[in-house]
Amino acid sequence: MHIRYILIIALLFCGRVALAQLNDTVHYHVTFNASGSANRTRDGNSYLLNNGLRFEMKKKTISLNASNSWVYGKADRSLTNNDYSSSVDFNLYKAIPHAYYWGLANYNTSYSLKINSQLLTGLGVAYSIYDRPNAYLNVSDGVLYDLSDINTSDTTREVYHTYRNSLRVQFHFVIRDLVTLDSGNFIQNSFTRKGDYILRTSFALGFKLSNWLSLNSSLAYNKIARTDSENLLLTYGLKFEKFF
């Protein structure tokens, strides 16, 4: 079985066991994004498909999240994107007020970023500078283990591992229960390899059409210094969500 499916099944099972040991009510949230995109990379411009599925389970003191995304695109019949990401993460809310511990396992492949396979696992601490039901500003830091198989050039393939510092800043705002603004920004520097960093930043704007349907658009930028590659994704489409 593929490593990403093993990770998802194992961590989901562990998360269910952990949640079952708590006494408060479990809340579930499922979202699916179906988008058409305009994409700009170093190889040119293209149209592409960008789809994502996310499942969340949350209790008072712990939450578990699983997500999958796939970006596929072509330009002038040439492949520009075939990028897949699968991740499982948890948050443990037992620290000081407005702070929590986090952990994650993330598996990626990316044609546009020259990643044949990448496994990231790590732990850290997060703190909400501003924390309200409809708005928050959050900063987190932690350590990641990176095991990667990448193409550093058209003829050179490299398998390596390193430890990274992972710094994240994110915010979420809801305006009149109709408009949402979200942003997540990561810089992940290697502790031992100078100039080896991963940069990811995204901004999303959503307009609620009903309790389960929203019109959504987002802008994301990704750069992998080790492969000297980057992409810029502008997506627009529909988001389906369900709380239960």
Q: Which domain holds residue 81?
A: 3-243
Give residues with Cβ within 8 angstroms of 153, minimum separation 6.
none
What total of structural domains would you count in the chain?
A: 1
Name the pairing type of β-strands 229-243 and 213-224.
Answer: antiparallel
Domain with residue 69: its CATH number is 2.40.160.40
pLDDT digits (tens, 9 = 90+) for 22-42: 446 888 999 999 988 676 666
Q: Give the sign of the dihedral formed by CA 38, CA 109, CA 85, CA 122.
A: negative
Whole-number Å distance between alpha carbons of 191 and 173: 33
Measured in degrees and rounded to the nearest 5, phi and psi for residue 12 equal -65, -40
SS3 43: coil
pLDDT digits (tens, 9 = 90+) for 26-83: 889 999 999 886 766 666 677 789 999 999 999 888 999 999 999 998 888 789 899 9
Cβ pair 54, 34 in contact under 8 A: no
